[in-house]
Every structure is written in structure tokens, then in C-alpha cells.
Amino acid sequence: MVRVGVHVSIAGSIAKAVGRAEECGCDTFQIFSRNPRGWAVKPLAPGNVAAFRDALGASGMAPAVDHMPYLPNLATPRDEAHARSVEALEGELARAGSLGVPYVVTHLGHHLGAGSETGEARVVAALDRALASAPPDVMILLENTAGEKNSVGSDFESIARILGNCTVPERLGVCFDTCHAYGAGYDLKTEDGFSEALAAFDDAIGLELLHVVHCNDSKGALGSGLDRHEHVGLGLIGEDGFRRILRAPELRELPFICETPEDDRRDGAGNIAKVRELAG
């Protein structure tokens, strides 16, 4: 059986996320530990932290994954925004440590026209600074991006350069987003394209550094640069593409987390069921 889950809400209390994940049938799950669309952040109440840890331990689900909020931009050349982004990452690492969550997934951001080399250097500086004060049992996972204008980390070589230039590479890993990879030009839909993408990842980064897969189909076309998630099997990667992804021996033991929409076609539990069906 593959381990599969969804991104769940923390509305009402962060501890409620565990129950919501169980109700969906998750084996693993992802959360935002705070409001993802603002800079303001409330400290986690000790009682809620204890309740989350107790519920997580009793559930048997693993791993729980924390995702960085949307506003931080680790690649920005603007000093004030960069400092604020690093502070947000430091805070998220501390929150994950208190919750017993082993992974914090982060987008790498946009260089705003300063160039990829500058953007990658800014990401390296941010990661090194944040990890200097991070709990020892929390790892940062770098998420590949969809090829948007001025984005950093859309190709595997960019991620590899960032990993190679950090002073503590052992504290870093990768979260592979299938929708983003397809948008960036990696053809996960076809048998040859998927094999080539997997080999390219292994050559540039190393599959041993891959810890989580974001299992999202794509509304955007191959190489479109669009980050538009779709239900698993209903987008342009399609059921055959995901059947190969989910059955690949190199990936099968990894946690798969769906960040898919909830609408009248399918909800989180429906996407989990579809993943298990395609995984065989």
C-alpha cells in the first residue's frame, strides 16, 4: 500500500487537523501551522501543541508535513523582504519542532528579474541562516516550482545547485510536486517522459534526497509555466501518468500528499481513493 494523504485545515485548533486527516482516510497529511496568506502569526498555545502531538502519536499517521505560508520569498533581492522571509522560515521550523513534525516544505520564490544566479544565492543564504537556529529534528524540503516567470527551482539543476551550496546539506531534502514538474516541462504523462524525468532528478539531485511527493494533476499544459492543480487523473497528466508515478519502485515507499481542489466532482477522500486505485 502507498502512503497517501491530503492537505488538511487547522481551523478551530491545530489539534483538529489530525482528526480531519483521519476522517479522510489519510496515512500521512500536510498542514499550514498558521494563516498562510498573512505575515502576522500567533504563537501556538502549549495546550494545542500537546493535543496535536498526542493525537498524532495515537493516529499512527506519518509523516505529518508542515508547509510554509505563501508570502515569504527566499529568492528576493530586496533586503527587507528577504529578512522577513528568513524570519518566517525560522519561525516555521521552530513551530514544526514543537509539534513533532519532521518536514517543512518551502517554495523557493522568485528573483524578481535579478537573475537565477542571484536568486539561488539568496535562497542559499536564507536556508543557512534559518537552519542555524532550527530544531535538530526538522528538515527543510525544497519544492520544485512550475516554471513561472523569474521563478527559482523549476529545473532539477537549480535545486541541485542550491543544495550543493548550502553549508548544512544534510538538513535539506526535496518535495517533488507533479503538477509543478509538468508545468515546468517534465513530461510525466508518457512512459518515456516519466522515465527521463526520474533519471534527470536522480542525476542532478539524487533520489535519496526525495522525501515527499505532492501528488497533483495539472490543468496547465506541458511546459506552460502554470501552477494549476487538478484532481488526480482528471488533468493533463492523467490516470495512466499517475499509474506509472504511483507504481514506480523508486517512489512507491514515499508519502504522497494531494493538494487538490474540493468540489462537486471529488473531495480529499475521493482523491485518496483514486490514488490507491491507481497504485494498485
Give the residue numbers annotated as catalytic, written as ranges: 37, 67, 70, 107, 143, 177, 180, 214, 227, 229, 259
**Is 139 within 8 Å of 89 (Cβ atoms)?**
no
Q: Quick check: helix, strand or coil at residue 72?
A: coil
**Is 145 within 8 Å of 152 (Cβ atoms)?**
yes
Q: Which residues contact 115 (CB under 8 A, 6 or more apart)?
A: none
What is the number of residues in the chain? 280
Alpha-carbon distances of 140 from 88, 90, 131, rounded to whole Å:
13, 11, 8
Residue 45's CB: how many other CB atoms inside 10 A?
12
Q: Quick check: helix, strand or coil at residue 5?
A: strand
The owner of cell 501518468 is 241
230 has which bridge partners?
A: 217
